[in-house]
Structure 1
Amino acid sequence: MAVLKLLLICLLFLLLWLPIDFMLGRKKQLQKVTQRTFPLRHGDISLITYGKTLYETLFYEIECATNHIHILFYIVKNDEVSQQFLALLKRKAKEGVEVRLLLDRIGSYRLSQRTIKSLRASGVHFSFCHKIRLPFFFYSLNQRNHRKITVIDGKIGYLGGFNIGKEYLGLNEELGKWRDYHLRIEGEGVQDLQEQFLHDWCDDTKEDLLKETRYFPTLPKGSMAHKFVPTDGAYLKHTFLELIHKAEDNLFIGTPYFIPNTEIIEALLQAVKRGVTITILVPLKADHPLVREAEFPSFRQLLAAGCNLYHYKDGFFHAKVILVDDVVCDIGTANFDLRSLFLNHEMNCLIYDKQFISHVKDVLQEDLAKSEEIPRDYFAHLSFAEKVKEKIAKLVATFM
């Protein structure tokens, strides 16, 4: 009886402490965060949609690096694909190339201490970022660095939705094929990716390399206007709202997790009222529990308003893309959910090139052809279990 009483007291304390921890941690974060902006740049950008293509291109260009390799990923696993990637970094470090690898502490938790020791012994500068810290343990546990940035010799950059692991090659039996959008960038915008990486590196290692000119070679202008938008658990909402308000005819949103806040839903509903055709694409399969049910409240409103909602069926759709008319395309690391909006550190790229936008529209048509439209009466046929899950999902939506 005494043991049960003690367990109940501990549970009550936990339930009281977690929201206080989160609230105070969030307050402290907002006090110190500032909105970082980058100017409009011109470069050459290509879109990569399959893991095999990305890894072949990325690994080849890492192999060709002569000066430095700076890489930030949310997830690097401990599987054979990850080991191939890490072996390449170790080999380049032994050749005398500066290699810095920054991984999110929670996202890359599978990386073993043995592997980390091997990286460092080979000369790779390695650090975990966003380590769990007191006094706000629960908040720091949830505030992740979700950016995926690669900079090679200060001249070539990568940004997008892919991480490192075999599932991104479509080798996960449950999820099947993996569909994602990743950017390869050349031109003057690469310096902004470099600056963001070095800013994150300094945050976690206290090694300030931002004034080291060797990491910022003179870069040519390319043909595509674009702008990088970093967000640190704040300000992403403003970017999304600005894109929604800009739409005049068509708005396309592709995301693996559609769990926005009330203000964004209201903006989408207002867009419909002014005549904007809204299309939203999400995966039919879910890679996390309760994700599908967490989408139900928003989808219910948007279907009723006349939006076009689709489930991607050909594997798992992990791309993060917003397309506004033929004016601007947003591709990056941020999902259309509460975690990206108010917790994660993200990096997106706004692209203002008509030819690139036309290509993205063609790719999206391919993805829609592999999808099924969600019928207007979809929510009239929910099972009892789905209704219960939806109620639970509402309670934990911020942390999904």
Structure 2
Amino acid sequence: MVFVILLIIFLWLRIDYKLGRKNHLNKVNKREYPLRKSNIKLFTNGNELFENYFNELKNAKDHIHIIFYIVKDDEISTTFLNLLQKKAQEGVEVRLLVDWVGSKVSKQMRKELKKSGVHFQLGHKPRFPFLFYTLNARNHRKITVFDGKIGYVGGFNVGKEYLGRDPKYGFWRDYHLKIDGEGVQDLQKQFLYDWSDATNVDLFANPIFFPPLPAGQSSMKVVPTDGAYLQSHFLELINTAKKEITIGSPYFIPGAKVMNGLLEALKRGVKVNVLIPNKADHPFVKDAAYPYFSPLMQAGARILMYLKGFYHAKVFIIDDIMCDIGTANFDKRSLYLNHEINCYIYDPFFIQHVKGKIHEDIASSTELTLNDLKKRTFLQKSKESISTLLSHFL
């Protein structure tokens, strides 16, 4: 009887996911904003980022538009939410969209936010008839726009661990961008798109959200993906590589097609470096990466394990001509489920700056060897097998 019930549940989940995915792909559109000129600043330390972020938040005069995947219920989150309440009470329009799964904002705090005038919304709530699929298709974007003139996008969420204050993870390494100039309008458009999706309120016609913006120094473009098209984006980039590919990601589960793309690049003589954390923040997710390591290493790739703390950066560099920093991990969840946003940057000076940070990260890492893989225990290899089965949802 128990077996029959489990079989029914399994079949329901499989059918729900397959039909939900098909329904999603029939509706989703590929969106890619134009090439823009912007000024871009990179933050790799949470304390520095949020000091700058909170200063800009305090100076906002007209509107504050924010998406985070996670807002925790802790001291830094309380500071953040209190600042939003204060700005709303000053007459600034404040909109905060947080993912339904990622949000840890209490019901009491939500009431206080709304009472103060903050427009608070939970995004990507599970929906019938495809409950299991929509439960897994998360809004993983992190976007902020102040007054339509200053934008932020990258890997940091709001919580004490992102400032290195959680002893479980220690120092937290992440990459986040501050943007001013033409590219901010595209972050604004993406925010308004997600806000409309969550609330059915269309704000695109309000001109105050799109002030005139000066051109900046760096060529860049904003690339959103909605649980589709990220794989083709990554493959296009990999196929253009002539000398070197560098990937930084907390989770490395690229799937068969992207994996084959990397192996083909190695055959062409392209160097491939993969930087991942030695410490895992989720069960199974690190083990799910191991089946990909041996073929890559045998073909000449370097796998580097970050030791200084937790590595959460999402960075992808092709030769010295393109750098991608955003919210997408190099894993199946970002490739096929999550709604992400990346920023492609084509400024050689900025790219060298980012490569300098990556070299610092590599200096705080150890290189995995084939001998290390051979030493893995039977228990570890068994966990790899289980993780591989679950890898699509990790």
What residue identity is the alignment partner of 2:6? Answer: L
Match of 1:44 among 39, 44, 47: 39
2:12 partner SS: helix
Equivalent in the alignment of 2:351: 357
Equivalent in the alignment of 1:67: 62
Deviation at 1:282, TM superposition (A): 0.2
Aligned ranges for residues 280-299 of structure 1 at < 5 Å?
A: 280-299=274-293
Equivalent in the alignment of 1:204: 198
Aligned ranges for residues 15-30 of structure 1 at < 5 Å?
A: 15-30=10-25
What residue identity is the alignment partner of 2:76? Answer: V
Structure-2 separation of matches of 1:48 and 1:340: 22
Q: Does 1:176 align with 2:198?
A: no
Match of 1:193 among 187, 192, 199: 187
Residues 124-166 of structure 1: CA deviation (Å, up to 9, x unaligned): 0110110011111111110000000000000000000000000
Deviation at 1:76, TM superposition (A): 0.2
Q: Does 1:225 align with 2:219?
A: yes
Aligned ranges for residues 148-163 of structure 1 at < 5 Å?
A: 148-163=142-157
Gaps of 5+ in 1: none
Structure-2 separation of matches of 1:10 and 1:99: 47
Structure-2 separation of matches of 1:103 and 1:21: 25
Equivalent in the alignment of 2:267: 273
Deviation at 1:377, TM superposition (A): 2.0
Residues 281-327 of structure 1: CA deviation (Å, up to 9, x unaligned): 00000000011110011111101111011000000000000111110
Residues 30-85 of structure 1: CA deviation (Å, up to 9, x unaligned): 01000012000000000000110111000110000000000000000111110110
Structure-1 separation of matches of 2:12 and 2:187: 38
Structure-1 separation of matches of 2:145 and 2:5: 47
Structure-1 separation of matches of 2:20 and 2:360: 43
Residues 172-228 of structure 1: CA deviation (Å, up to 9, x unaligned): 111111000000000010000000000000001011001211100000000100011
Report the identity percentage: 55
User: How many residues get paired?
Assistant: 394
Q: TM-score, normalised by structure 1?
A: 0.98
What residue identity is the alignment partner of 1:72? Answer: I
Equivalent in the alignment of 2:72: 77
1:291 partner SS: coil
Q: Does 1:146 align with 2:157?
A: no
Q: Does 1:10 align with 2:2?
A: no
Structure-2 separation of matches of 1:27 and 1:43: 37
Structure-2 separation of matches of 1:136 and 1:73: 24
Structure-2 separation of matches of 1:379 and 1:368: 20
Equivalent in the alignment of 2:236: 242
Equivalent in the alignment of 2:101: 106
2:313 partner SS: coil
Structure-1 separation of matches of 2:257 and 2:197: 31
1:377 partner SS: helix
Structure-1 separation of matches of 2:78 and 2:6: 40
Structure-2 separation of matches of 1:32 and 1:227: 24
Structure-1 separation of matches of 2:230 and 2:3: 39
Structure-2 separation of matches of 1:292 and 1:128: 29
Q: Does 1:391 align with 2:391?
A: no
Deviation at 1:253, TM superposition (A): 0.4
Q: Does 1:167 align with 2:161?
A: yes
Gaps of 5+ in 2: none
Structure-2 separation of matches of 1:321 and 1:327: 14
1:45 partner SS: strand
Deviation at 1:11, TM superposition (A): 2.1
Equivalent in the alignment of 1:260: 254
Equivalent in the alignment of 1:131: 125
Match of 2:326 among 326, 329, 332: 332
What residue identity is the alignment partner of 2:114? Answer: R
2:54 partner SS: helix
What residue identity is the alignment partner of 2:324? Answer: D
Structure-2 separation of matches of 1:131 and 1:374: 40
Deviation at 1:379, TM superposition (A): 1.6
What residue identity is the alignment partner of 2:49? Answer: L
Structure-1 separation of matches of 2:245 and 2:351: 13
Deviation at 1:10, TM superposition (A): 2.7
Equivalent in the alignment of 1:346: 340
